A = this chain, B = another copy of it.
Amino acid sequence: MEREHPHIVVLGAGFGGLEFCQRFNHPNARVTLVDRTNHHLFQPLLYQVATAGLSAPDIAQPIRSILADRPNVTVLLDSVVDFNLANRQIVLKETTLAYDYLVLALGGCTSYFGHPEWEAFAPGLKSLTDAVLIRSQILMAFEKAETTPLPHVDARLMTIVVVGGGPTGVELAGAFAELARHVLKGDFRRINPADARVILLEGGPRVLAQLSPELSASAQRQLEKLGVHVRVATKVRNITKGRVDLENGETILAENIIWAAGVSATPLTKKLGVELDRASRVKVNPDLSLPGHPEVFAVGDLAFVPDANGKPVPGVSPAAMQMAKHAARIIEDEIAHPKSASRPPFRYWDKGTMATIGRSAAVAQVGKFEFSGLLAWLAWLVIHLLFLVGFRNKTAVLFQWFYSYIAYKRGARIIVKTDS
C-alpha cells in the first residue's frame, strides 16, 4: 500500500532541493520539502548583497511561491535535528517525518579548516544574514573612520582583507574595491574612501585555481587594475579581532576580515553514519544513493561525486541541479516500474566556470574556450540576469542592477542595526 502513495522527503531548498521538487513528476507521490528558512537563495549573487549592490530580497524568493503550482509538494519551515535511516525517519525540531525516499540537499557551510574560533573575527558568506552583516560592518568601518577625530585616521578602519582566492573571494575583493573607489566617491568629507586597501589573500600559487593559469593571471591583472592587492602563496596562520597573522611572520591589521577560503558540507552529514570525505561530504554510489541505503540520495554541495576524470564534481549550482534531476528520474522510474527500473550512474556536464571581477571585468571558461574582460563580463551578466528574471520574474532587479552598474550607484547601502 505504502508503495502506491510513496512519500519523498527533500531536505534543503537550495538549487538541488528545489530542482528536485520542480523536476519530480509522479501523480501519486507526495513530496515534503523542509528548509530552515522561508526562501530560496540565489547564492551566486550573494556577494552583491554583501557589497551593497543588491538588497537581500532581490536575490531571495519565498519557497512557497516558487512551488505554489505544485500541489503535491508540501513545504515545511523546520530544522533537521537527526536522521533515523534504519527506520526511514527524519527528526525535525517540530515533528518527525517518515519517508519512502529521502533526498539530502542540505548544502554546505563555511569551513575554517579546524579553526572555528576564527569565525567571530572573519565572517563567511553563506546566508542572507551573513551578507547583510558584512555589508553593515564594512559601511560602519567607513563611518567610524569619518568620525575619528583628525589628524590620524586609523588605517585599520580602511582595510578590508578577503581570505581565499576562489570565485567568491575574487568577486568580493573586486566589488569592495569598486565600492570604495567609485560608489562611495564624494560621500565623505574627511576621509577619502579611495584610500581604502582591499587585500586578497590566497594560499595557493594563483587565484581561481580551477581555471587555466592564463585566466588566473588575467583575473589577477583585472583585480590589480581595480586597486586590489592580490597576494598569492600567502597562507594565514592566525586570525584575531582586527588582525591577520600570516605564515611568513607578517601581520595585517584590518577592521574587516572576510573569510572566503573554505566550504564543507553541513555538519549534519556526520550524523548519517556513512563514510565522508575531508570536507564532510557524503561518498555516494555512482547513482548518487548512499551506500547501504538505496532509498536515500545525496545531491549538491554535501555529495562527494567523482566526475569522468576522477576529479570531484565542483560545488556549483549547475552540478547540484543536475544531481537533483538525476535522483528525480531514478525515483520516478522506480515508483512507476518497481520491477524493471534500472539506476544509471550520474554524469556531470560541465557547462563552464566564470567569475566576475568588477564592472565590465570577468573571466570565463566554457569547454575549451576561454575569455576575459568585457566579453566575459557580458556573458556573465546575461547568464545571471536571465537566471534572476526567470527565477522570480523580477524584471525590476534587472533595471536596478543595470542602472547601478552603469551609474556606479549602489542602491542597498543601508546599515541595519538589530539593536535600534
Q: Which residues of A contact B (CB under 8 A)?
A: 36-39, 55-58, 60, 62, 64-65, 68-69, 71, 73-78, 94-95, 127-129, 132, 139-140, 143, 146-147, 149, 184, 186-190, 392-397, 399-400, 403, 409, 411-418, 420
Q: Which residues of B contact A38 (CB under 8 A)?
A: 139, 143, 413-415
Interface centre among A78, A95, A397, A416 (most CB of B within 10 A): A416
Query: What CA separation (Å) do A147 and B33 show in the bound complex?
Result: 12
What CA separation (Å) do A113 and B166 show in the bound complex? 55
Q: List 8 A-B contacts (CB under 8 A).
A: A38-B139, A38-B143, A38-B414, A39-B415, A55-B56, A62-B413, A62-B414, A395-B403
Which listed residue, B64, B68, B396, B414, touches A403 by the CB 8 Å rule?
Answer: B396
- Check if A416 sits within 8 Å of B64, measured CB to CB: no
Contact check, B56 vs A147: say whether CB atoms are below 8 A apart: no
Q: What is the bound-complex CA distance between A149 and B96, given in angstroms?
A: 11
Complex CA gap A37/B416 in Å reads 8
A400 to B58 CA separation, bound complex (whole angstroms): 11
Could you tell me if B417 and A74 are in contact, using CB atoms closer than 8 angstroms? Answer: no
B128 and A414: CB pair below 8 A?
yes
CB distance from A381 to the nearest CB of B (A): 16
CB distance from A129 to the nearest CB of B (A): 6
CA distance A65 to B57 in the complex (A): 22
Q: Which residues of B sit under 8 angstroms from A128, Cβ to Cβ?
A: 414, 416
Which of B57, B78, B149, B394 is within 8 Å of A147, CB to CB?
Answer: B78
Copies of this chain present in the complex amount to: 2
Pair A186/B68 contact, Cβ less than 8 Å? yes
Instruction: Name the contact of A64 in the complex, choosing from B39, B127, B187 (C-beta under 8 A).
Output: B187
Q: With a CB–CB cut-off of 8 A, which chain B residues contact A65?
A: 187, 409, 413
Pairs A-B, 8 closest by C-beta atoms: A396-B400, A64-B187, A55-B57, A57-B412, A77-B143, A68-B186, A396-B399, A396-B396
Q: Report yes or no: B132 in contact with A416, Cβ–Cβ below 8 A.
A: yes
How far is B189's CA from A56's CA once the two chains are assembled, in angstroms?
Answer: 27
Q: Check B414 against A129 for contact (C-beta < 8 Å).
A: no
Residue from the list B94, B147, B400 in contact with A76, Cβ < 8 A: B147
Q: Of all chain B residues, which has the CB nearest A399?
A: B396
Q: Which residues of B contact A68 (CB under 8 A)?
A: 186-187
Contact check, A94 vs B147: say whether CB atoms are below 8 A apart: yes
Q: Are A37 and B415 in contact (CB under 8 A)?
A: yes
* B74, A189: Cβ atoms closer than 8 Å: yes
Given A57-B55, A129-B420, A417-B129: A76 in contact with B146 (beta carbons within 8 A): yes
Bound CA span A95–B146, Å: 12
Contacts of A397 in B (CB 8 A): 396, 400
CA distance A187 to B184 in the complex (A): 40
- Nearest CB in chain B: distance from A318 CB, A: 24
A79 to B: closest C-beta gap in Å = 9
- 11 extra A-B contacts, CB within 8 A, seeds A38-B143, A57-B412, A95-B147: A55-B57, A60-B414, A75-B187, A75-B189, A76-B146, A77-B140, A128-B414, A394-B400, A395-B399, A396-B396, A418-B418
